[in-house]
Amino acid sequence: MKITAADVKNLREKTGAGMMDCKKALVEANGDFAKAEKLLKELGLLAVRKRSGRATNEGRIFSLIQKGKGALLELSCETDFVARNSDLMTWDKSWSKSSSTKTSVSLPKSCNPWLGT
């Protein structure tokens, strides 16, 4: 089966994985999107295992103070690029809002494409 750039783009948008990883997964899965997505997830889990021992010296601290109560949240990461990610910076607002209403909120996929996939 021929893998088109549009196929790669669709898989990349759905998973957040790199372009070449998406192409490789689609080729290995013979164009089957579900199988390619599963392959990418397995690849991501292997990458996470490889990184598990790395230091996370960068990150951000988020704070929230409302009605005499406060909360601090520290998110650690490997690089300053992730810590300065615009999605992570705007995520602070949704975390603050959800903390005050006691609802859950997830990290954006651009901060970690393997979360929630």
* 113 in Cβ contact with 14 (< 8 Å): no
pLDDT interval class at 116 (50, 70, 90): very low
5-51: CATH number: 1.10.8.10
Helix residue ranges, H only, the chain: 5-15, 19-28, 33-51, 80-83, 86-101
Domain ranges of the chain: 5-51, 58-101
For residue 59, give every residue at least 6 positions away whose Cβ sits within 8 Å of its Cβ, in sequence order, or none: 74, 75, 76, 77, 83
pLDDT for the residue 29: 92
pLDDT for the residue 30: 93
pLDDT interval class at 114 (50, 70, 90): very low
Q: Provide the whole-model pTM.
A: 0.45
pLDDT digits (tens, 9 = 90+) for 3-59: 999 999 988 888 778 888 889 899 999 999 999 988 888 887 666 666 667 777 888
